[in-house]
Structure 1
Amino acid sequence: MSVTPLAAHRSAPSVPAFRGRLGRDPRSGHWAVPRRYRLHVSTACPQGLRIAVTHSLLGVGDSCPLTLLPAVPDGPDGGHTALRPLYEAGAHHYPGPALAPVLGDDWSGRIVSNHAPDIMRDLDRYFGDGRAPLYPCGAAADIEAVERLCAQDVDEAAQRAGRAGDGPAERAAALRVLLDALGDLERRLAGQEYLTGDQLTAADVTVWASLVQLDTVHRHHLDAAAVHRIADHPALWAHARRLTAHPAFAAHLDLDGIARRHHARCRGLEAAGAAVQILDWAAHAGGAHGSRFS
């Protein structure tokens, strides 16, 4: 298993990233054995939300159990105390916060991975049994492109657009990046039901979690004009609304938890965008059991 500096978008460069993969490296011993591994996620975190939805879509609860962590990390360093034994077992004299999400190995008491895209791929490949795969053959390049777009040009750009420490020019530049990314996603949905074609994939899960975060967290730090420009992508937000009515998505949409996590960690600007909600997420999630996805 490799341990490398955590990616910059996790905002904790001193924390190791665990990048073990199931069934890939014989030296790791991470064979895909049912009930050997356990997921630890907080659905108030976008990465944890993506994994939880993926877990439900694949129906792999029996082979890889999922443990839900508090919305607001309970450790004094901003991590989860429940995950500290896993981190300390995997990194000698581990110095940083025990962050989620984590795929843990119950046999060894160690972390396999805390890299959400790898975790999602391994769930699909080794525990999904081929049922409606979220990484279908031939779609890998498109899915990876959407993942990069969301990480860099939606999630990070939205955070920069409302960051208190940046000046107006920097925030305006970040907003342009965000709007360009949303325009790209809007065009991808032109004439098709899902982002990569006629099948629900991990790309749709990734974008949905980014849009949840954009509307429930980031818009609070933007002005009303910016939020109206963000909302002016009708196909994209209609797609988010339709996915929210899917039981696998609705079951993990913890709006109260997202709000509590936001208020506990918030360092952004106070802006008028807070009053301009794009979607009524609770209402759409409340209709999940009557949707055509049931």
Structure 2
Amino acid sequence: MSVTPLAAHTSTRPAPAFRGRIGRDARSGHYAVPRRYRLHLSTACPDGLRIAVAHALLGLDDICPATFLDPIPDSADDGHAVLRPLYDASAHRYSGPALAPVLSDDWSGRIVSNHAPDITRDLARRFGHGRLELYPCGAESEIEAVEDMCAEGIEEAAQRAGAAGAEPAERDEALGTLLRSLGALDRWLDGRTYMIRNQITAADVELWVTLVQLDTVHRHHLDATAVQRIAAHPALWDYARRLAAHPAFGAHLDLDAIARRHHARCQGLEAAGAAVQILDWAAHAAAGTGARPQVEGP
């Protein structure tokens, strides 16, 4: 598989309400100062899980603390009530949902960003000096290509393949797209430890979280035969298993929270594939698990 940028596609994610960036110096407004910023995350959400894993890989607990939210939003608009004061302070008469993830500025009490990809990049680039290089020099296009494949070739394809009410031909076409993507990744990872370099990068964080979602969420709406075909990519799932055993990945994998979030949000019908688990994530993540983070409440 050639890791090159894919064609542009329309994202299904809502547009972020706040998209500030952490800059290099004081002229940027939001500049990099240890303990100035705080993360608000739900690791049951794939974006929150990606940021939590990157945050752990970079070892930023003391530089940018993280507060962990309940997996199920408690507001009628699918937002988190505990984040409402931040949203209200950040935009006059803000009427949208108080969504996570959020990067907030403790100095001003306002939100810097709720755009997950920007948050991850800024943590790595502004606070990651001398630490693991999640975005190695010259790898940006490769990382973006993996992000696009995960979004379009796996995430969106899996959703369409299991969509309730879709025509059989539409579901079959989407399943074909999903299997082709997994097949390309499986061939690429055969004999490799990581996705694009000889170390963990942001591409590995992106792909691993996508595979977690595929096995713990999307397979519930697929038939058993489809799930068995998805599982028939040994290099890809061995890769997912190895990363699950890494402390930065496994420690944040809360399967119960993912299940609670899925069942609270899901409106589709459960299919036979729900009974065909691909990986025993809990067993593989055992090396990375410890005390669960405290949950922020109202």
Q: Same fold judged by TM-score > 0.5? A: yes
Q: Any conservation in 2 of the 1:124–1:135 contact (CA below 8 Å)?
A: yes
Please tell me whether residue 9 in structure 1 is matched to residue 12 in structure 2.
yes
User: CA–CA distance in 2 between the matches of 1:132 and 1:141?
Assistant: 19
Q: How many residues align?
A: 280
Name the SS of the counterpart of 2:104 in structure 1: strand
1:109 alignment counterpart? 109
Q: Following superposition of structure 1 onto structure 2, how do residues 209-224 of structure 1 map, counting pairs within 5 Å?
A: 209-224=209-224
Name the SS of the counterpart of 1:18 in structure 2: coil
Q: Any conservation in 1 of the 2:24–2:126 contact (CA below 8 Å)?
A: no
1:264 alignment counterpart? 264
Q: Measure how far apart 1:9 and its partner are.
A: 2.1
Please tell me whether residue 68 in structure 1 is matched to residue 68 in structure 2.
yes
User: CA–CA distance in 2 between the matches of 1:27 and 1:99?
Assistant: 28
User: CA–CA distance in 1 between the matches of 2:197 and 2:105?
Assistant: 35
* Cα-to-partner distance string for 1:185-204 (whole Å, 9 max, x where unaligned): 22321332110021110111
Identity of aligned residues (%): 71
Q: Any conservation in 2 of the 1:219–1:273 contact (CA below 8 Å)?
A: yes
User: CA–CA distance in 1 between the matches of 2:23 and 2:287?
Assistant: 39
1:176 alignment counterpart? 176
| TM-score between the two structures when normalised by the length of structure 2 | 0.89
User: CA–CA distance in 2 between the matches of 1:130 and 1:25?
Assistant: 18
Please tell me whether residue 149 in structure 1 is matched to residue 163 in structure 2.
no
Q: Any conservation in 2 of the 1:20–1:112 contact (CA below 8 Å)?
A: yes
Instruction: Name whichever of 59-68 and 191-200 sits farther off.
Output: 191-200
Q: Any conservation in 2 of the 1:158–1:214 contact (CA below 8 Å)?
A: yes
2:186 alignment counterpart? 186
1:78 alignment counterpart? 78
Q: Measure how far apart 1:27 and its partner are.
A: 6.5
Q: Any conservation in 2 of the 1:23–1:32 contact (CA below 8 Å)?
A: yes
User: CA–CA distance in 2 between the matches of 1:120 and 1:283?
Assistant: 27
Instruction: Name whichever of 22-31 and 39-48 sits farther off.
Output: 22-31
Q: Any conservation in 1 of the 2:24–2:32 contact (CA below 8 Å)?
A: no
Q: Any conservation in 1 of the 2:211–2:240 contact (CA below 8 Å)?
A: yes
* Cα-to-partner distance string for 1:196-255 (whole Å, 9 max, x where unaligned): 021110111111111111101110100011101111111110000000001111110000
User: CA–CA distance in 1 between the matches of 2:163 and 2:25?
Assistant: 40
User: CA–CA distance in 2 between the matches of 1:28 and 1:169?
Assistant: 51
Q: Any conservation in 2 of the 1:189–1:235 contact (CA below 8 Å)?
A: yes
Aligned partner letter, 1:222: L
Q: Any conservation in 1 of the 2:241–2:281 contact (CA below 8 Å)?
A: yes
| TM-score between the two structures when normalised by the length of structure 1 | 0.90
Q: Measure how far apart 1:60 and its partner are.
A: 0.6
Aligned partner letter, 2:235: A
Instruction: Name whichever of 147-156 and 58-67 sits farther off.
Output: 147-156
User: CA–CA distance in 2 between the matches of 1:188 and 1:139?
Assistant: 16
Q: Any conservation in 2 of the 1:163–1:267 contact (CA below 8 Å)?
A: no
Q: Measure how far apart 1:125 and its partner are.
A: 0.9
* Cα-to-partner distance string for 1:90-111 (whole Å, 9 max, x where unaligned): 2332222111111111111221
Instruction: Name whichever of 72-81 and 183-192 sits farther off.
Output: 183-192
* Cα-to-partner distance string for 1:126-147 (whole Å, 9 max, x where unaligned): 1112212111112111111101
Name the SS of the counterpart of 2:17 in structure 1: strand
Q: Mind listing any 5+ residue stretches in structure 2 that lack a counterpart?
A: 1-9, 290-298
Q: Measure how far apart 1:266 and its partner are.
A: 0.7
Q: Measure how far apart 1:26 and its partner are.
A: 6.8
2:34 alignment counterpart? 34
User: CA–CA distance in 2 between the matches of 1:206 and 1:58?
Assistant: 15
User: CA–CA distance in 2 between the matches of 1:27 and 1:88?
Assistant: 25
Aligned partner letter, 1:189: L
Name the SS of the counterpart of 1:198 in structure 2: coil
User: CA–CA distance in 2 between the matches of 1:159 and 1:25?
Assistant: 42
Q: Any conservation in 1 of the 2:135–2:202 contact (CA below 8 Å)?
A: yes
1:49 alignment counterpart? 49
Structure number with greater CO (CA < 8 Å, separation at least 6) is: 2
* Cα-to-partner distance string for 1:170-190 (whole Å, 9 max, x where unaligned): 222221221122122223213
